[in-house]
Amino acid sequence: MPKYKCVIAYDGTDFAGYQVQPEKRTIQSEFEAVLAQMHKGTIIKVTASGRTDSGVHAKGQVLHFESPLTFPTENWIKAFSVLLPTDIIVLEVDIVPDDFHARFHTTGKEYRYIVARSKLRDPFKRNYAYHYPYPLNVEAMREAISYLIGTHDFTSFCSAKTEVVDKVRTIKEMDFEESDDFMVFRFVGEGFLYNMVRILVGTLLDVGSGKMSPHDMSGILDKKDRSFAGKTAPAQGLYLWKVFYK
């Protein structure tokens, strides 16, 4: 049975996150409902590169599933476009080797986080960026990043709820760009801990606003205690931008 890899995008606003939960509208449940419809009621299980939380968006989430259907990938894309709700879209479909696994075979992920800097909040951006109109010391933020990039134990930058034991992760790239009324943070790494990107953004904003100094970053890493880092920045600014495979 052919195995398919899909690159999908979704507006996370009206979802209770990616993963199936009873009684909740999730990306996975909507996707599996459409697959069941395409397969005349047969349940087709879908596996994603990882979960995203409620309100978090994706520009390039990846998932795989197996199906006996063999129409050309163009037709899969068209069928998904018609059948999926308007807040999810399938951008690419590829046939992959039987042993491909959307979660276990990732070699990295890119997340972006959008901060809106206009003085007044923008009703049209309320679900797509974090409105933060306060002055920011951009140089201090760049210096803080120099302490955080690379391989560290990120226990302090990870939700205390996490069950994962090994909290050492490598951030390969971490930077931000300013444009008009926005600041777009970019994070590339092999993998990220639960809430890690949002806590990193919250902490960088604390540095930018002077609540913390860039030098505090090594101390916070050393503490291995979530309570020392900044607040978790809200979900609506976060985008799973790209998932990398070999």
Give the nearer residue to a copy of itself in terms of CB position, either 11 or 143: 11
Number of Cβ within 10 Å of residue 206's Cβ equals: 18
Told to judge if 53 belongs to the known catalytic residues of this protein, a careful annotator would answer: yes
How far is it, in rounded angstroms, from Cα 70 to Cα 231? 48
Closest approach of a copy of itself to the CB of residue 211, in Å: 22
111 is in an annotated binding site: yes
DSSP state of 235: G
CA 77-54-182 angle, to 5 degrees, is 85
For residue 177, the minimal CB distance to a copy of itself (Å) is 19
Residues 12-71 that bind a copy of itself (CB under 8 A): 57
> What is the helix (H) or strand (E) element at residue 221, kind and residue range?
helix 216-223
What is the smallest separation between the CB atom of 94 and a copy of itself, expressed in angstroms? 16
> Is residue 86 a contact point for a copy of itself (CB under 8 A)?
yes
Contact status: 124 vs a copy of itself (CB under 8 A)? yes
DSSP letter for each residue of 157-201: GS-TT---S--EEEEEEEEEEEETTEEEEEEEES---TTHHHHHH
Among the residue ranges 88-96, 143-151, 166-174, 208-216, the one whose residues contact a copy of itself (CB under 8 A): 88-96
Nearer to a copy of itself by Cβ, of 10 and 185: the residue is: 10
CA angle 174-9-205, nearest 5°?
30
Quick one: which segment of 18-26, 108-116, 123-131, 218-226 binds a copy of itself (CB under 8 A)?
Answer: 123-131
Which residues have a catalytic role annotated? 53
